[in-house]
Chains A and B, each alone.
Chain A
Amino acid sequence: MTVITPPETATLAAATASRSTAFWRLKGFPLIPVTILLFIAFVAVFADVLAPYDPQIGSLARRFKPPVWQEGGSWAYLLGTDHVGRDVLSRLIFGARVSMIVGLTAVLVAGVIGTLLGILSGYLGGWADQVVMRVTDTWLALPALTFAIFLAAIVGPSELNIILILGLVYWTRYARVIRGEVLSLKQREFVRLAIVAGCSKRVIMWRHILPNVINSAIVLATLMLGVVIVTEASLSFLGVGVPPPKPAWGLMMADGKKGLMVGYWWLTVFPGICIMLMVLSANLLGDWLRVKLDPQLRQL
């Protein structure tokens, strides 16, 4: 009769292992990026309360005022005023709202189209797959910004159009990744069981496939948020995005560009910093989520 008592080292190892995973759960959490994103969201929601001035009305009498710490600046206009005398800070605050609304909705539109088509394409296979994937390949060959400019030139600038354009340009990124995931899910036991159990294709796709690709879709959405915001800003900068006098960050930079050569730096630098902070934060959060939720997406 042999009684094997578990060796001390094994329990010790197990204890340290569980402690280290608990620790790992929070390790590398992008605290600063998330704080920045939440702050921007907060500003966007309460823009009406927070902004000291109307972002669209200025007075030529007080144009090109520098920020408060520079000579000629005043406490009334913390970050200065632009070429028609509008308060830069107020425009930045309302610009956050534009970026948030456009960014989030466009990512959602692209995500819904791309995920659904990716699932259909991957699960049904056959000609549906061929059509979706050939369109995806072709559209991915078009540089996103060029494609977006083309579409904007056709439908004309408006906030809603920008959202639809960005959705149309970026759904292909989701479709390709989601399709790949669906192809491997199809081989998994639970999907096969569902097929054997006689579930309809619709039920399998809706109940078994969709919940399993939602993680990847969320990771992609976070990573796409930065890309979409940069594209929106670029379109606005080129004059085919959010139409003036709406306060979009990209538009502010385009306006400010004229003043750059005579040293009115604050008109371009502040909106630039806002875009940069938001995009960097979204990317850092996306990177963290990717490692956390979906190690298979590492190659993205």
Chain B
Amino acid sequence: MSQEPLLSLEHLSAHYVSQQGTRVVRAVDDVTIRLGAGETLGIVGESGSGKSTLALTIMRLLPPAARIVGGRIMFEGKNLVDKPEAEMREVRGKRIAMILQDPMASLNPLFTIGNQVGEPLRVHEGATRANAWQRAIALLKSVRIASPQTRVAQYPHEMSGGMRQRIVGAIGISCEPRLLIADEPTTSLDLTIQAQYLNLLRELQREHGLALIFITHNLGIVAKMCDQLAVMYAGRVVEKGPVARIFNAPAHPYTKALLGSIPRMSDNRRQLTAIDGQPPDLSSLPAGCSFAPRCPAAFARCRAEAPPEFALDDGRTARCWLAAPGVAQSLDAQAAK
């Protein structure tokens, strides 16, 4: 990654603050991630680990109770954090698009498919009604929807779940964005349709040179789709790097546990629940490493002090004292005694 990355998150933090200001939930905490043009990044973690909040942070569409408290979001060389809302609207849907989890609920039941697919074109490119309609038909065709001419005039309730998800995909790519964020795009689809949809996304990525961020808790999808992987735990990225490296030799005990908890690649819908203990309460995190209470390898320092992000020599980083330079050797030495 010698040239400037497409998206670079630098020490990004977003917190939920309760009305009285007494409760602070660190939903996204000191996240640093880089993503080059055309690359695919997978973000995995349990529910509540901050993945979805991270995506909404990038889009600057956090719920009212949450705000960005620090860091930068560099996208195409500009910091999105201090863009005014009006300029941010021109990024959303045009430069960065996002696909939501639930295709049944993300289409407005009262408007035609054509209206909803063409809407970003009308807003961002000033397309006329007729022009947007024609391009909506073309977009439906590009997401492999049969007889787009008739489908375009129909309403969401006349479509199957898989079709709706494709339509949501068509809305995503309508303005040819540089980056597409997909938040668990396939959880509500059945297996065959899921596979078809993933293939479609890959083709679209190739055709349009899209960068993709895949938010999922399905490691099977990550293995199939992604170049880079970031593992999130309690709002922090605990390990990141090339997918193959991490899968072969996870550096963080949490990643190890995650990988250990997928039984078979064929049964890749199984969710990651097989780790002992509960995910931590984000409003009262332990003092040290937030994974320490569940970590089989934790030692005294883990409970006292949160580990920083250590860079490993193969392009990975890990937030774990075990990855600190010198620690591994001394532990080995201890074990040898």
A–B in direct contact per CB < 8 Å: yes
Residues of A participating in the B interface, judged by any CB pair closer than 8 Å: 4, 7-10, 13, 16-17, 20
Q: In the complex, A113→B287 CA distance in Å?
A: 58
User: Does the CB pair A16–B22 fall under 8 Å?
Assistant: yes
Contacts of A16 in B (CB 8 A): 22
**10 further contact pairs, Cβ within 8 A, besides A9-B286, A13-B283:** A4-B293, A4-B303, A7-B284, A7-B286, A9-B287, A10-B284, A10-B286, A13-B284, A16-B22, A20-B22
Contacts of B266 in A (CB 8 A): none
Q: In the complex, A8→B303 CA distance in Å?
A: 12
User: Does the CB pair A8–B287 fall under 8 Å?
Assistant: yes
Contacts of B22 in A (CB 8 A): 16-17, 20
Q: How far, in Å, is B190 (CB) from chain A's closest CB?
A: 34
B147 within 8 A of A: no
User: Does the CB pair A20–B284 fall under 8 Å?
Assistant: no
Contacts of B123 in A (CB 8 A): none
Contacts of A4 in B (CB 8 A): 293, 303
Q: In the complex, A17→B283 CA distance in Å?
A: 12
Contacts of B284 in A (CB 8 A): 7, 9-10, 13
CB closest residue in chain A, given B293: A4
Q: How far, in Å, is B303 (CB) from chain A's closest CB?
A: 7
Chain A interface mostly: helix
Q: How far, in Å, is A18 (CB) from chain B's closest CB?
A: 11
Q: How far, in Å, is B233 (CB) from chain A's closest CB?
A: 17
Q: How far, in Å, is A16 (CB) from chain B's closest CB?
A: 5
Q: In the complex, A17→B287 CA distance in Å?
A: 19
Contacts of A9 in B (CB 8 A): 284-287
B20 within 8 A of A: yes
Question: Of the candidates B20, B285, B287, which one forms a contact with A20 in the assembled complex, judged by CB atoms under 8 Å apart?
Answer: B20
Contacts of A7 in B (CB 8 A): 284, 286-287
Q: 0/1 per residue, B23-48, Cβ < 8 Å to A? A: 10000000000000000000000000
CB closest residue in chain B, given A14: B284
Q: Could you show 14 A-B contacts with beta carbons less than 8 Å apart?
A: A4-B293, A4-B303, A7-B286, A7-B287, A8-B287, A9-B284, A9-B285, A9-B286, A10-B284, A13-B23, A13-B283, A16-B22, A20-B20, A20-B22
Q: In the complex, A284→B283 CA distance in Å?
A: 34
Q: How far, in Å, is B4 (CB) from chain A's closest CB?
A: 39
Q: 0/1 per residue, B279-292, Cβ < 8 Å to A? A: 00001111100000
Q: In the complex, A71→B84 CA distance in Å?
A: 62
Q: In the complex, A78→B20 CA distance in Å?
A: 48
Q: In the complex, A16→B24 CA distance in Å?
A: 12
Q: In the complex, A196→B27 CA distance in Å?
A: 47
CB closest residue in chain B, given A9: B284
Q: In the complex, A67→B129 CA distance in Å?
A: 68
Q: In the complex, A16→B284 CA distance in Å?
A: 12
Contacts of A17 in B (CB 8 A): 22
Contacts of A20 in B (CB 8 A): 20, 22
Q: In the complex, A10→B22 CA distance in Å?
A: 12
Q: In the complex, A121→B283 CA distance in Å?
A: 45
Q: How far, in Å, is B300 (CB) from chain A's closest CB?
A: 9
Q: How far, in Å, is A287 (CB) from chain B's closest CB?
A: 19
CB closest residue in chain A, given B23: A13
Q: In the complex, A43→B284 CA distance in Å?
A: 53
Contacts of B286 in A (CB 8 A): 7, 9-10
Contacts of B287 in A (CB 8 A): 7-9
Q: In the complex, A98→B45 CA distance in Å?
A: 67
Which 10 A-B residue pairs are closest in the complex by CB-CB distance?
A7-B287, A13-B284, A16-B22, A7-B286, A10-B284, A9-B284, A20-B22, A20-B20, A9-B287, A8-B287
Q: In the complex, A8→B283 CA distance in Å?
A: 13
CB closest residue in chain A, given B286: A7
CB closest residue in chain A, given B287: A7
Q: In the complex, A8→B22 CA distance in Å?
A: 15
Q: In the complex, A99→B303 CA distance in Å?
A: 67
CB closest residue in chain A, given B283: A13
Contacts of B285 in A (CB 8 A): 9
Q: How far, in Å, is B329 (CB) from chain A's closest CB?
A: 23
8 Å CB interface, B197-216 against A:
none
Q: How far, in Å, is A17 (CB) from chain B's closest CB?
A: 7
Q: In the complex, A115→B188 CA distance in Å?
A: 45
CB closest residue in chain A, given B292: A4
Q: In the complex, A17→B24 CA distance in Å?
A: 12
CB closest residue in chain A, given B299: A2
Q: In the complex, A20→B19 CA distance in Å?
A: 12
Contacts of B283 in A (CB 8 A): 13
Q: How far, in Å, is A13 (CB) from chain B's closest CB?
A: 5
Q: In the complex, A10→B286 CA distance in Å?
A: 8
Contacts of A10 in B (CB 8 A): 284, 286
Q: How far, in Å, is A273 (CB) from chain B's closest CB?
A: 35
Q: In the complex, A4→B302 CA distance in Å?
A: 12
CB closest residue in chain B, given A23: B20
Q: 0/1 per residue, B289-331, Cβ < 8 Å to A? A: 0000100000000010000000000000000000000000000
8 Å CB interface, B83-112 against A:
none
Q: How far, in Å, is B302 (CB) from chain A's closest CB?
A: 11
CB closest residue in chain A, given B298: A2
Q: In the complex, A4→B283 CA distance in Å?
A: 19
Q: In the complex, A9→B290 CA distance in Å?
A: 13
Q: How far, in Å, is B289 (CB) from chain A's closest CB?
A: 12
Contacts of A13 in B (CB 8 A): 23, 283-284
Q: In the complex, A244→B220 CA distance in Å?
A: 84
Q: In the complex, A139→B107 CA distance in Å?
A: 41
Q: How far, in Å, is B291 (CB) from chain A's closest CB?
A: 14
Q: In the complex, A13→B283 CA distance in Å?
A: 9
CB closest residue in chain B, given A16: B22
